């Protein structure tokens, strides 16, 4: 399905995250570092062990050998929550890619010949 605009699902999701942040910062003062890691929560425990291992290998995370799935998922979750993200830039890039019907894989092939 080709998107000509941001779909209602993603629009509502973005607005709900913004509203939750506004409420938390206005209610609690926003001084607690705990609030930044609460939204949005990604359940990495649902991933397969091989996927967690590939993530660990890609980011060169140090762990003891023989970690079980729960320990590996906890390590990956901790790292994932601490990756810095420029939200405005990421959302703008996402919307641009959706509107232009492109993916990151398309960018790699732009230098070469494209079949249409």
pLDDT band at 19 (very low <50, low <70, confident <90, very high): confident
The reported pLDDT for the residue numbered 25 is 53
Is residue 28 a contact partner of residue 35, using CB atoms and an 8 Å limit?
yes
The full set of domain ranges for the chain reads: 8-100
> Stretch 81-103: mean pLDDT, rounded?
87
Is residue 19 a contact partner of residue 39, using CB atoms and an 8 Å limit?
no
Q: What angle do CA 51, 41, 18 make, to 5 degrees?
A: 135
Please tell me whether the overall predicted TM-score, pTM, comes out greater than 0.75 for this model: no
Is residue 65 a contact partner of residue 55, using CB atoms and an 8 Å limit?
no
Is residue 45 a contact partner of residue 70, using CB atoms and an 8 Å limit?
yes
The pLDDT tens digits of the residues spanning 49-67 come to: 999 999 999 999 998 888 8
**Measured between alpha carbons, how far is 58 from 45 in angstroms, rounded to an integer?**
18
> Stretch 64-93: mean pLDDT, rounded?
89
Is residue 90 a contact partner of residue 10, using CB atoms and an 8 Å limit?
no
């Amino acid at each position: 399905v080709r998107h000509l605009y941001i779909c209602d699902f993603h629009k509502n999701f973005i607005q709900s995250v913004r509203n939750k942040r506004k409420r938390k910062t206005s209610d609690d003062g926003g001084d607690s570092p705990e609030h930044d890691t609460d939204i949005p929560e990604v359940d990495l425990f649902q991933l397969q062990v091989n996927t967690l291992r590939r993530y660990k290998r890609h980011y060169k995370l140090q762990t003891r050998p023989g970690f079980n799935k729960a320990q590996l998922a906890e390590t990956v979750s901790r790292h994932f929550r601490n990756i810095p993200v420029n939200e405005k830039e990421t959302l703008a890039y996402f919307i641009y890619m959706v509107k232009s019907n492109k993916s990151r894989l398309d960018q790699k092939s732009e230098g070469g010949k494209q079949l249409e």
